[in-house]
């Protein structure tokens, strides 16, 4: 199967053509301000470079940091209507309560809280107040809002209130973009509502961007369905994905990890991605990044949804080293490495200089660091190796050795031997790992739910069946489904053997769905 994977990063737009198990061609171009230009250039290069092979690709998959950057940089965000269903509960902490003020001011439109919602065991909290929902929708319509975020108490367990409210809102604002919290987040009302609001404020941008991606694709003459990658390393058809821009927030690191797995042929291990400023460490389980189970802040907003579990260390090729060796980082010269580091003619001692002096890597002018004593550089490399070692170990969830997959421009800082790792694999072509990760993505279904009154086995079976259903709905071929993650946690102070079960299934995309 031929596929094109495109990674639209803040600096570079990378694209690869994958055929079966190998990378046929790779291109790297600068990301343009309108994003489109870079994609257009990359697609044209691929098409021309591969003698027409690109004409019969079955899928084009784009991974982009476009939406995350919009939130972080506070640009191209739209005002949203926030509808919370759950009164009389939670009244004192309204939507946007723990947002940074500048972002809340930019995104907050009409905020409404109405009676409704459910208990953890499926009983109604109070009946949904249809009239109050309609009044809220009218106020949102009057304010000219076209993107509405709807969040109900315990909706991940019982979504009926959100679905009914959506029906009413649609009657009042016929062309509204609606984001329902149960489609996105987990238990934890504020964090789930935050994800829902973020998703709602990106609707116009997402519609615009996906239309532009599709136009660039059509222009290139490549007639293949377009998919976007998600945080968990799977894909969604662009028509569906544009409704859920938050699902692309972490696609950068995710695609890098997935690409490393593909390029190394390993499905299990720890990926250590050493960049210029930071080292990102994440675990691969069955070829996918392990998911985070705790709140993750995006642009200062606490969220809890499907995100990879990453540990970021302040260590990279540009990390500044104190002249006496007493301090490693956390400051970094970052993207100025090529001018600031000693070996590149600068005057700042960096981790890269230490590695060059010790003969770990050949970069710039080694004579400029020849004066550094071997004992000094060896001690510093050992110290940086120990930082990586500790990070790898902190992220472990069980004892035993793992295989380390080294990627990133600063991966020469990773020693050949790392405690707790049976091998250090230096991944070839890691410069385009992100685009490769996009190209090989599959479709998934996830369930994260509290079950009561069922035994452990029955609860897991029920969650598994629902995850399968969702994976098929997302585009997976049923015959290719497999379980990639399962976790169950018993809960305190709840009767009836309550437990939270999380299950994720993935599969290859079926016949070009909807394409």
Partner 1 sequence: MIRTIEREELDFLATGAWILGTGGGGSPYLSFLNMRRLYAGGVRVALLDPDALDDDEAVAVVSNMGAPLVGQERLADPDFATRPVRMMEAYLGRRFRAVMAVEIGGGNAFQPLLVAARTGLPVVDADAMGRAFPEAQMTSFAIAGLTCFPLTLADIRDNEVIVARADGWKWMERISRKVCTEVGSIAATCKAPRSGAEVKRHAILRTTTQAIRLGAAVHAARRRHDDPVAATLKAGDGKMVFRGKIADVQRRTTEGFLRGTARVEGLDDDRGSRFDLAFQNEFAVGWRDGAVAVTTPDLIAVLDSVSGEAVGTESLRYGQRVTVIALPAPPILRTPRGLDHVGPRAFGHDTDYVSLFGAADAGCAA
What is the x/- site pattern for partner 1, positions 338-357, by CB under 8 A? --------------------
**292: which residues sit within 8 A by CB, 6+ positions away?**
307, 308, 309, 310
Question: 171, exposed or middle or buried, with CB in 10 Å at 0-12, 13-18, 19+?
Answer: exposed
Under rule CB under 8 A, residue 329 binds partner 1: no
What is the x/- site pattern for partner 1, positions 395-414, by CB under 8 A? xxxxx---------------
Closest distance to partner 1 from the beta carbon of 493 (Å): 4
Question: 314, exposed or middle or buried, with CB in 10 Å at 0-12, 13-18, 19+?
Answer: middle
What is the x/- site pattern for partner 1, positions 357-386, by CB under 8 A? ------------------------------
Under rule CB under 8 A, residue 324 binds partner 1: no
Closest distance to partner 1 from the beta carbon of 160 (Å): 15
| Residues 305, 149: Cα–Cα separation, whole Å | 16
Kindly tell me which of 126 and 338 has the beta carbon lying closer to partner 1.
126
What is the x/- site pattern for partner 1, positions 123-142, by CB under 8 A? x-xx----------------
**Residues paired with residue 312 on neighbouring β-strands, in sequence order:** 280
Kindly tell me which of 3 and 192 has the beta carbon lying closer to partner 1.
192
Kindly tell me which of 67 and 283 has the beta carbon lying closer to partner 1.
283
Q: Which residue has the tokens 């149960």?
A: 182
Residues 403, 251, 307, 505, Cα dihedral to 10°: -70
Closest distance to partner 1 from the beta carbon of 386 (Å): 12
| Residues 39, 6: Cα–Cα separation, whole Å | 8
Of the candidates 37, 100, 188, 366, which one interacts with partner 1 according to CB under 8 A? 188
Q: What is the 3-state secondary structure (H, E, C) of 161-174?
A: HHHHHHHHHHHHCC
Of the candidates 271, 296, 450, 481, which one interacts with partner 1 according to CB under 8 A? 450
Closest distance to partner 1 from the beta carbon of 404 (Å): 15
What is the x/- site pattern for partner 1, positions 70-89, by CB under 8 A? ----------------x-xx
Under rule CB under 8 A, residue 92 binds partner 1: yes
Helices (H), 16-129: 36-49, 66-72, 101-107
| Residues 322, 350: Cα–Cα separation, whole Å | 9
- Residues constituting the chain: 515
**300: which residues sit within 8 A by CB, 6+ positions away?**
99, 100, 103
Under the rule (CB under 8 A), what is the footprint of partner 1?
A: 86, 88-93, 97-98, 119-120, 123, 125-126, 153-154, 187-190, 294, 390, 393-399, 450, 489-495, 497-500
């Amino acid at each position: 199967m031929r596929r094109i994977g495109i990674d639209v990063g803040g600096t570079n737009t990378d694209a690869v053509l994958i055929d079966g198990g190998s990378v046929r061609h790779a291109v790297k171009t600068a990301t343009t301000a309108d994003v489109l230009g870079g994609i257009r250039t990359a697609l044209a290069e691929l098409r021309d470079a591969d003698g027409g092979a690109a004409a019969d690709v079955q899928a084009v998959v784009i991974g982009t940091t476009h939406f995350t950057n919009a939130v972080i940089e506070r640009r191209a965000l739209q005002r949203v209507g926030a509808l919370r269903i759950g009164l009389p509960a939670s009244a004192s902490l309204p939507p946007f309560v723990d947002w940074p003020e500048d972002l809340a001011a930019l995104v907050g439109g009409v905020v409404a809280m109405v009676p409704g919602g459910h208990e953890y065991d499926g009983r109604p909290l109070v009946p949904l107040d249809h009239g109050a929902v309609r009044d809220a929708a009218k106020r949102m319509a009057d304010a000219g809002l076209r993107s509405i975020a709807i969040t109900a108490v315990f909706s991940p367990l019982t979504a009926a209130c959100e679905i009914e409210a959506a029906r009413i809102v649609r009657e009042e604002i016929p062309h509204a973009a609606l984001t329902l919290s149960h489609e996105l987040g987990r238990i934890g009302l504020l964090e789930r509502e935050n994800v829902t609001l973020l998703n709602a404020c990106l609707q116009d941008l997402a519609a615009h961007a996906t239309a532009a991606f599709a136009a660039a694709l059509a222009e290139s003459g490549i007639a293949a369905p377009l998919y976007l990658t998600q945080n968990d390393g799977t894909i969604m058809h662009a028509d569906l994905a544009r409704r859920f821009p938050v699902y692309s927030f972490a696609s950068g690191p995710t695609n890098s990890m997935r690409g490393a797995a593909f390029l190394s042929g390993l499905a299990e291990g720890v990926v250590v991605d050493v960049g210029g400023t930071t080292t990102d460490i994440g675990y691969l389980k069955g070829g996918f990044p392990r998911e985070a189970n705790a709140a993750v802040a995006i642009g200062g907003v606490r969220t809890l949804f499907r995100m990879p579990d990453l540990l970021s260390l302040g260590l990279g090729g540009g990390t500044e080293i104190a002249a006496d060796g007493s301090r490693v980082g956390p400051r970094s010269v970052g993207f100025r490495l090529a001018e600031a580091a000693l070996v590149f003619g600068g005057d700042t001692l960096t981790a890269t200089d230490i590695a060059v002096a010790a003969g770990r890597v050949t970069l710039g002018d080694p004579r400029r660091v020849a004066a550094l004593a071997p004992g000094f550089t060896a001690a510093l490399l050992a110290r940086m190796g120990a930082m990586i070692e500790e990070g790898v170990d902190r992220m472990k969830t069980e004892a035993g050795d793992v295989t380390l997959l080294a990627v990133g421009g600063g991966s020469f800082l990773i020693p050949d031997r790392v405690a707790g790792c049976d091998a250090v694999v230096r991944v070839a072509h890691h410069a385009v790992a992100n685009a490769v990760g996009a190209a090989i993505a599959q479709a998934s279904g996830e369930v994260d739910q509290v079950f009561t009154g069922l035994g452990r086995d029955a609860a897991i079976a029920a969650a598994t069946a629902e995850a399968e259903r969702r994976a098929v709905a997302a585009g997976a071929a049923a015959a290719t489904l497999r379980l990639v993650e399962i976790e169950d946690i018993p809960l305190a102070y709840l009767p009836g053997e309550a437990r939270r079960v999380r299950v994720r299934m993935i599969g290859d995309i079926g016949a070009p769905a909807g394409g």
